[in-house]
């Protein structure tokens, strides 16, 4: 597997080159987007609402035209190609199954508009319905199906004509949690068995982490980071990504010096720690330190081993979560500092108790100030 | 646990579950009924009652029966093959004398005149000249002497035909049919046979207006449904504005616009496109223009509401699945507007077939619709029987349409994927 980085043109099925989009001519919804998507890849566009991820998807589908830049699909520029000629399957947020057609007719729609012979249509529809295990509901109408069933039909309809690319716009947003998790696995399996290329839009980070080969984190019209899920979580390149993906503890401070990729940071509330210098401007500038809750230990004897950052802390609260527990601490002025503990370990902590915490410099990333 | 409890309750009580449910629901149903009772009574007295009365009048035949009771009785056994015998003449002479004293001759003669043109004169002359009751046995000779028409079979057949209590005379008349001397149903004489033409004209005009409304209204409704709310609200006011204006005012406005010296003709002449004013009003063209304008909102509103419920995602989905804009419109959008098209067309058509004022004001003599004739017989000639019969035929046609529409919509729903 390649790491997230530049992909050569030959491998890329979709290429966004310097794409910009504005609706009002004043501010850009998408700012200078360069993004390559490989064939057979499952790429998720993740970000809060208004970050430009849906606009990006709509430009790829052909429902929005880029204000600037070009999009290539299989090396062909498609900026001015109407959506129905792009050969891209799409699954919509609310399924958009045609209410006046049966399930069978819905799935057959992309085939019949392509004037495929009747016998072949029938065969393909049957195998598509078998794939989603809804053969017995072929003659029902969408209104008579549950949300999950409708979602599967929408999937079958988007896949039945073997498009070179499948787009999904928050397809699981309307389902309840249990069904959503089930469908995540089902879509992932379909992706793997059929070898299709998927561009998936969601604002749900756990969905993105579960399903994707790579995730592009959008904020403010810019791709903040595009990487594999584990890299995104372990090695965020800026504060936005660190905060958006998973739980994160932030400590504000000022860089004192930088040496061999590490820097010493004086915390605003006093004390200093050593962190990886990832996204810092230089000595004397402000920074935000990022530490994941599971990378921190509570030092009961108060003595930190050599090379470990140690900070005094005060217990605010403990939360029992079944498979693990969380301690909410006050550390260097941050009253919501989370530490993940093994189950049962929270029993020894009480409100107001003074402890000290420790974490390795490798697990602490100095990022841009928030 | 729960199941056992329910079963136990079922077994212990003697009253079956269905009955208990009904009893429990009864109070609620009575309350609901009490709430709609005022409207129900209102409809009963102002709508259902008059309609029933109208239907009754179209078959009721009371005049001759009331004014000439003995004659009607004497003719009960008449086979109609020849002029009836002396007893019928004697009964008629007695009835006419009584009627003259009571001043009711005109009532009967008006009804008899519908059946046989000139009967009014026969009755009036007979009543005037029959000074005393003829001596027994001479009634026939006396009456024939007063007016030879009494010696004709047709005269007596008219009385027999009008002797009630029920008659198909008016309903047959409304369909250009009549009964001949032998009681067989035949086509009415050509100079009286106008109603089929009028019904045909009524349906043609209504159909044309409906089609025009659909053609003109569909794009407008589409635009209203797809524009941003602010703009569509503004446009909607323009659609509704004429809706809130009096029908009479709008119709008269069309007269101003379309007449020989009107805006359209003046403009065309000023532009040098025509020399003689075009005849735009007091003909079929004027009727189509004015009625389409008046009825357009009734088409646009149902279309708009059905289009408003169609998510734009459907068209996007169709495009992403490979359908060109035309295919997407025909296969995805249009089928979903069918309920709106049906509702709008039915509404416009049913309103159009009852139109009276607009064709009366902007149409010519050959453009008058059935309502004009109903009004004419109701207010001008006071022939309520025929007016009611024409109304009944119109009502029947409308009901038939509504039933057909109901069937179509029901079929649409079955294939339309509504939840059952």
List the CATH number of the domain containing A327. Answer: 2.40.50.140
**Which residue is it, tokens 């649409």?**
B412
Query: How far apart, in Å, are the Cα atoms of A312 and each of A199, A358, B418?
Result: 45, 9, 64
Percent of chain A with pLDDT over 70: 96
B160 and B199 within one domain: no
Q: Output b/e per residue, B191-211; b: 16+ Cβ within 10 A.
A: eeeebeebbebbbebbebbbe
B130 and B210 within one domain: no
> Do the domain assignments include residue B277?
yes
On whether the CB atoms of residues A292 and A300 are closer than 8 A, the answer is no
> Do the domain assignments include residue A6?
no
Residues of B whose CB is below 8 A from A141: 415-418
> Do the domain assignments include residue A260?
yes
Confirm or reject contact between A158 and chain B (CB < 8 A): yes
pLDDT of residue A197: 94
pLDDT of residue A305: 72
B146 and B199 within one domain: no
Q: How far apart are CA A112 and CA A109, in angstroms?
A: 5
B217 and B355 within one domain: yes
CATH number at residue A204: 3.40.50.300
Q: What is the pLDDT of residues B156-189, one digit of tens each?
A: 989 988 888 898 899 999 999 988 877 788 888 8
Could you tell me how many helices (H) and strands (E) chain A has, helices first? 8, 20
Chain-wide mean pLDDT for chain A?
89
A335 and A190 within one domain: no
Residues of B whose CB is below 8 A from A173: none
A195 and A142 within one domain: yes
Q: Report whether pLDDT(A1) > 90.
A: no
B219 and B119 within one domain: no
- List CB contacts of A211: < 8 A, sequence separation 6 or more: A42, A44, A184, A187, A188, A191, A200
Residues of B whose CB is below 8 A from A99: 336, 416-417
B141 and B207 within one domain: no
Q: How far apart are CA B189 and CA B176, in angstroms?
A: 8
Confidence of residue A44 (pLDDT cuts 50, 70, 90): very high
Q: How far apart are CA B276 and CA B265, in angstroms?
A: 9
Q: What is the pLDDT of residues A56-73, one digit of tens each?
A: 999 999 999 999 999 999
Interface size A-B, in CB pairs within 8 Å, comes to 89
Q: What is the pLDDT of residues A117-130, one digit of tens each?
A: 999 999 999 999 99
Which pair of structure tokens corresponds to residue B273? 């496109």
Q: Report whether pLDDT(B366) > 60.
A: yes
A137 and A217 within one domain: yes
Between residues A370 and A217, which one has the greater pLDDT?
A217
A297 and A158 within one domain: no
CB contact under 8 A, B417 and A110: no
Q: In which element (H, E) is residue B84 found? A: none
| Closest chain B residue to the Cα of A103, Cα to Cα | B417
Q: What is the pLDDT of residues B113-140, one digit of tens each?
A: 998 888 999 999 998 988 888 888 888 8
Q: Report whether pLDDT(B412) > 70.
A: no
Query: Best of A87, A109, A161 to disrupt the B interface by mutation (most B CBs within 10 Å)?
Result: A109
Give me the interface pTM, i.e. the ipTM. 0.81
- List CB contacts of B372: < 8 A, sequence separation 6 or more: B356, B359, B360
B235 and B347 within one domain: yes
> Do the domain assignments include residue A139?
yes
Q: How far apart are CA A110 and CA B163, in angstroms?
A: 72
pLDDT of residue A77: 94
Between residues B183 and A304, which one has the greater pLDDT?
B183
Q: Report whether pLDDT(B13) > 60.
A: no
Domain count for chain A: 2
pLDDT of residue A39: 92
- List CB contacts of B336: < 8 A, sequence separation 6 or more: A98, A99, A100, B306, B310, B314
Identify the domain containing residue A131 by its residue range: 12-239
Rounded to an integer, the average pLDDT of A135-141 is: 92
On whether the CB atoms of residues A13 and A197 are closer than 8 A, the answer is yes
Query: Best of A60, A61, A113 to disrupt the B interface by mutation (most B CBs within 10 Å)?
Result: A113
Chain-wide mean pLDDT for chain B?
88
Confidence of residue A3 (pLDDT cuts 50, 70, 90): very low
A320 and A187 within one domain: no
Domain count for chain B: 2
Confidence of residue B234 (pLDDT cuts 50, 70, 90): very high
| Closest chain A residue to the Cα of B322, Cα to Cα | A84
B216 and B123 within one domain: no
Rounded to an integer, the average pLDDT of B280-295 is: 92
* Helix, strand, coil percent values for chain B (each to nearest 5): 75, 0, 25
The total of other beta-carbon atoms located within 10 Å of residue A327's CB is 24
Residues of A whose CB is below 8 A from B317: 90, 92, 96-98
A342 and A218 within one domain: no
Q: Report whether pLDDT(A345) > 90.
A: no
Q: How far apart are CA B337 and CA B122, in angstroms?
A: 63
Confidence of residue B5 (pLDDT cuts 50, 70, 90): very low
What is the dihedral sign for C-alpha A350, A351, A355, A358? positive
> Do the domain assignments include residue A44?
yes
A38 and A134 within one domain: yes
A185 and A160 within one domain: yes
Tell me which of A267-271, B269-273, B315-319, B329-333 is least confident. A267-271
pTM to 2 decimal places? 0.77
| Closest chain A residue to the Cα of B339, Cα to Cα | A100
Confirm or reject contact between A83 and chain B (CB < 8 A): yes
B200 and B90 within one domain: no
> Do the domain assignments include residue B55?
no
Nearest chain B CA: its distance from A369 CA (Å): 41
Q: Report whether pLDDT(B3) > 60.
A: no
Residues of B whose CB is below 8 A from A121: none
Q: Is A227 helix (H, G, I), strand (E, B) or coil?
A: strand
B216 and B94 within one domain: no
A219 and A269 within one domain: no
Of A239, A271, A294, which closes a domain? Answer: A239
Rounded to 5 degrees, φ, ψ at B195 are -75, -35
A339 and A206 within one domain: no
Identify the domain containing residue B67 by its residue range: 63-167
B153 and B220 within one domain: no
**Which residue is it, tokens 């020849």?**
B82
Among A178-182, A271-275, B5-9, B43-47, top mean pLDDT goes to B43-47
pLDDT of residue B277: 86
> Do the domain assignments include residue B87?
yes
What is the dihedral sign for C-alpha A208, A209, A210, A216? positive
Q: Report whether pLDDT(B2) > 70.
A: no
Q: Report whether pLDDT(A20) > 80.
A: yes
Confidence of residue A303 (pLDDT cuts 50, 70, 90): low
pLDDT of residue B411: 60
A190 and A55 within one domain: yes
Integer-rounded Cα Rg, in Å, for chain A is: 25
> Do the domain assignments include residue A2?
no
**Residue of A70, A7, A82, A67 whose CA lies nearest to A43:** A7
A174 and A283 within one domain: no
Residues of A whose CB is below 8 A from B319: 62-63, 82-84
Secondary structure letter of residue A4 according to DSSP? S
CATH number at residue B236: 1.10.3720.10
pLDDT of residue A304: 64
Of A239, A273, A290, which closes a domain? Answer: A239
> Do the domain assignments include residue B143?
yes
DSSP B346-387: HHHHHHHHT--HHHHHH--GGG--HHHHHHIIIIIS--HHHH
pLDDT of residue A353: 87
B366 and B285 within one domain: yes
CB contact under 8 A, A102 and B332: no
Confirm or reject contact between A102 and chain B (CB < 8 A): yes
> Do the domain assignments include residue B175?
no
- List CB contacts of A183: < 8 A, sequence separation 6 or more: A148, A151, A152, A171, A172, A175
**Which residue is it, tokens 């009924």?**
B33
On whether the CB atoms of residues A228 and A216 are closer than 8 A, the answer is no
């Amino acid at each position: 597997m390649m790491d997230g980085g530049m992909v050569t043109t030959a491998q890329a099925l979709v290429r966004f080159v310097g794409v910009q989009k504005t609706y009002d001519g004043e501010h850009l919804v998408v700012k200078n987007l360069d993004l390559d998507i490989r064939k057979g890849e499952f790429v998720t566009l993740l970000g809060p609402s208004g970050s430009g991820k849906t606009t990006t998807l709509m430009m790829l589908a052909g429902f929005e035209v880029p204000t600037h830049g070009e999009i290539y699909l299989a090396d062909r520029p498609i900026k001015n190609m109407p959506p129905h000629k792009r050969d891209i399957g799409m699954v919509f947020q609310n399924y958009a199954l045609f209410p006046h057609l049966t399930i069978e007719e819905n799935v057959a729609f992309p085939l019949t508009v392509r004037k495929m012979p009747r016998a072949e249509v029938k065969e393909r529809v049957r195998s598509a319905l078998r794939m989603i295990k809804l053969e017995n509901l072929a003659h029902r109408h969408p209104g008579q199906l549950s949300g999950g069933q409708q979602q599967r039909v929408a999937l079958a309809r988007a896949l039945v004509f073997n498009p070179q690319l499948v787009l999904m716009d928050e397809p699981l947003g309307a389902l309840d949690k249990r069904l959503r998790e089930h469908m995540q696995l089902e879509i992932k399996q379909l992706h793997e068995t059929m070898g299709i290329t998927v561009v998936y839009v969601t604002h749900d980070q756990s969905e993105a982490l579960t399903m994707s080969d790579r995730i592009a984190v959008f904020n403010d019209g810019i791709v903040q980071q595009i990487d594999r899920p584990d890299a995104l979580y372990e090695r965020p390149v800026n504060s936005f990504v660190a905060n958006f993906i998973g739980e994160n503890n932030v400590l504000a401070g000022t860089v004192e010096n930088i040496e061999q990729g590490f820097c010493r940071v004086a915390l605003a509330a006093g004390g200093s720690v050593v962190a990886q210098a990832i996204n810092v401007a230089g000595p004397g500038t402000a920074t935000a330190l990022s530490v994941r809750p599971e990378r921190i230990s509570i030092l009961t004897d108060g003595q930190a081993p050599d090379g470990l950052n140690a900070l005094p802390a005060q217990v605010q609260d403990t939360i029992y979560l079944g498979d693990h527990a969380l301690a909410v601490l006050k550390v260097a002025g941050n009253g919501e500092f989370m530490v993940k503990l093994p189950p049962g370990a929270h029993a020894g902590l009480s409100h107001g108790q003074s402890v000290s915490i420790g974490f390795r410099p490798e697990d602490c990333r100095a990022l841009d100030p928030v | 646990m729960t199941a056992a409890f329910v079963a136990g309750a079922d077994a212990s009580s003697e009253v079956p579950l269905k009955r208990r449910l009904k009893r429990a629901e009864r109070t609620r149903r009575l309350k609901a009924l009490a709430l709609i009772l005022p409207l129900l009574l209102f409809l009963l007295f102002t709508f259902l009652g008059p309609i029933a009365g109208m239907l009754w009048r179209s078959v009721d035949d009371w005049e001759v029966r009331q004014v000439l009771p003995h004659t009607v009785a004497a003719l009960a056994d008449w086979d109609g093959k020849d002029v009836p015998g002396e007893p019928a003449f004697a009964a008629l002479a007695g009835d006419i004398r009584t009627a003259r004293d009571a001043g009711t001759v005109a009532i009967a003669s008006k009804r008899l005149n519908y059946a046989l043109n000139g009967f009014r004169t026969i009755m009036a002359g007979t009543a005037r000249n029959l000074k005393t009751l003829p001596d027994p046995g001479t009634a026939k000779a006396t009456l024939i002497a007063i007016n030879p028409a009494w010696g004709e079979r047709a005269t007596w057949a008219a009385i027999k035909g009008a002797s009630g209590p029920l008659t198909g005379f008016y309903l047959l008349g409304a369909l250009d049919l009549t009964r001949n001397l032998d009681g067989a149903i035949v086509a009415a004489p050509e100079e009286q046979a106008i109603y089929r033409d009028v019904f045909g004209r009524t349906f043609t005009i209504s159909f044309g207006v409906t089609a025009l409304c659909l053609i003109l209204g569909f794009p407008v409704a589409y635009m209203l449904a797809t524009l941003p709310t602010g703009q569509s609200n503004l446009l909607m006011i323009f659609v509704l504005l004429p809706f809130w204006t009096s029908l009479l005012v709008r119709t008269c406005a069309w007269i101003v616009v379309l007449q020989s010296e009107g805006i359209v003709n003046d403009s065309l002449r000023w532009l040098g496109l025509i020399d003689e004013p075009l005849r735009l009003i007091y003909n079929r063209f004027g009727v189509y223009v004015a009625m389409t304008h008046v009825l357009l909102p009734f088409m646009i509103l149902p279309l708009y509401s059905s289009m408003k419920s169609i998510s734009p995602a459907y068209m996007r989905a169709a495009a992403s699945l490979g359908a060109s804009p035309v295919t997407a419109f025909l296969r995805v959008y249009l089928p979903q507007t069918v309920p709106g098209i049906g509702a709008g067309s039915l509404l416009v058509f049913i309103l159009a077939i009852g139109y009276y004022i607009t064709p009366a004001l902007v149409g010519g003599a050959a453009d008058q619709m059935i309502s004009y004739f109903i009004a004419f017989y109701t207010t001008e000639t006071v022939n309520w029987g025929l007016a009611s019969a024409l109304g009944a035929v119109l009502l029947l046609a409308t009901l038939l349409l509504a039933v057909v529409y109901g069937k179509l919509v029901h079929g649409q729903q079955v294939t339309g994927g509504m939840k059952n």
